[in-house]
Amino acid sequence: MNRHLEHYKLGTLCSVKHGYPFDGSKFADHGTYIVLTPGNFFEKGGFKRIKGKEKYYTGAFPQEYLCSKDDLIVAMTQQAEGLLGSTALVPEDNLYLHNQRIGLVFHNHDLVDKLYLYYLFMTKSVRKQISDSASGTKIKHTSPDKIYSVSVSIPSIDIQRKNALLLYWIDKKIENNSLICSELEAIGKTLYDYWFVQFDFPDENGRPYRTSGGEMVWNDQLKRKIPKGWAVGKIGQLGSIVSGGTPTTTCADYYCDNGFAWITPNDLSGNGEKMFVSHGERDITQAGIDSSSAVLMPKHSVLLSRRAPIGYLAISDNEVSTNQGFKSIIPNAGYHEYYIYYLLKRNIPAISQQGVGTTFKEVSKETLSDFKLPLPPKPIANEFANAVSSLCENRCVLEKENEELTKLRDWLLPMLMNGQARVE
């Protein structure tokens, strides 16, 4: 194996161009062009699509700040912990605008492959050097000159291309799996709305209930018509609502790497559109559970964050516990977890409106338990769960595959970058 590496400063391998200072008064919820922010980066690298939270720009701007597909960009401001120095490849032509908190990276074609440079920025060495040289107390900033001073060691450009392509195709597989999961999620949500919002669940003849003339009756509590035979229900009827807890963080005996899964809202913030969760950033021990109000819940429990923010949602893929930021539902009342998941997903905006608090809103156990909604007979609810079971199970398989692929990529990345391994 040829492990010969050449030592460079990043200033020799690339140049970085600051973005345009877009006028904040001309941002809108809709438009033609989206202004990129550090929020468009994942912490470890990669482009993050923020559906529904885009900042569109309605003013004039120099065309040189309109990004092209596969432009390499770097976060120059640490908008959130760990984002400083993250890189991404712009996913589309003529849609995204390059603002001043982001650098556009141009690579030296003779010395470095662009994909390799993209992954080089993800290494701990490069990220640490960028972070250590950053300025600012509350929010860190870097600059082109500080990036140029970063020291790296790289192999020949032919080896760079092979190594980077392996990592790239792993990432593309992860991305494709995620897109499939998003489509499956959309199908499940659409079917839920069809059955339980439009009330076109299959009647006894297999026809859509409401469209086929199924009887609807007025309900005074809900102030709407619901199918005959349905009741006014509460979320508390779906199962046991369980709170979480946090073991004292100063006691090392309460935390470990391979113990009982312990989930925090922050763990689900990076969960993307994943439906299932098995572990968080760290596990807790039996002593940690015994010393706190954390509760060990069975597989298939439905986790809902109740604050900061309200609405992160997942189904446990094994026994889990959570911190106090959750109100979880153990489905022990005859309703399937898939039905509960999509019911909560559909009602999160309304549940959030009932949150109280000054610094940030939170939903109490009583508020969640007493949340009213039209509740179908259990056979209809569970027939829906059966209808979506195959797509949910497919999602679980793809999500687990992505977890393994992510571990593989993260394991390969430093070795491919530092010459310990290469693609033949």
DSSP-assigned beta bridge partners for residue 72 = 89, 105
pLDDT score for 1: 46
Does the CA dihedral 338-339-340-344 come out positive or negative? positive
| Mean pLDDT calculated for residue range 69-75 | 94
Residue 360 or 239, more confident: 239
Average pLDDT, the chain: 91
pLDDT score for 272: 61
Are 72 and 104 in contact by the 8 Å Cβ rule? The answer is: yes
**pLDDT confidence of 284, banded at 50, 70, 90?**
very high
Residue 358 confidence (pLDDT) above 70 = no
**pLDDT confidence of 322, banded at 50, 70, 90?**
very high
Tens of pLDDT, residues 109-145? 999 999 999 999 999 999 999 999 988 878 889 999 9
Q: Write the DSSP assignment of 45-61 as a string of letters.
A: SSB---TT---EE-S--
Are 309 and 251 in contact by the 8 Å Cβ rule? The answer is: no
Residue 423 or 153, more confident: 153
Phi, psi angle pair for 40, to nearest 5°: -85, 10
Tens of pLDDT, residues 197-206? 999 999 999 9
Closest by CA position to 342, among listed 287, 304, 370: 304
pLDDT score for 266: 84
**pLDDT confidence of 169, banded at 50, 70, 90?**
very high
pTM for this model (two decimals): 0.86
Q: How far apart are CA 101 and CA 78, in angstroms?
A: 9
pLDDT score for 288: 92
In the chain, what percentage of residues exceed pLDDT 90? 74
pLDDT score for 45: 84
Instruction: Please count the other Cβ atoms lying within 10 Å of the Cβ belonging to residue 123.
Output: 17
Tens of pLDDT, residues 231-283? 999 999 999 999 999 999 999 999 998 999 999 988 887 666 789 999 998 99
| Mean pLDDT calculated for residue range 398-413 | 94
pLDDT score for 271: 61
Lowest model confidence (mean pLDDT) among 235-239, 352-356, 368-372: 352-356
**pLDDT confidence of 41, banded at 50, 70, 90?**
confident
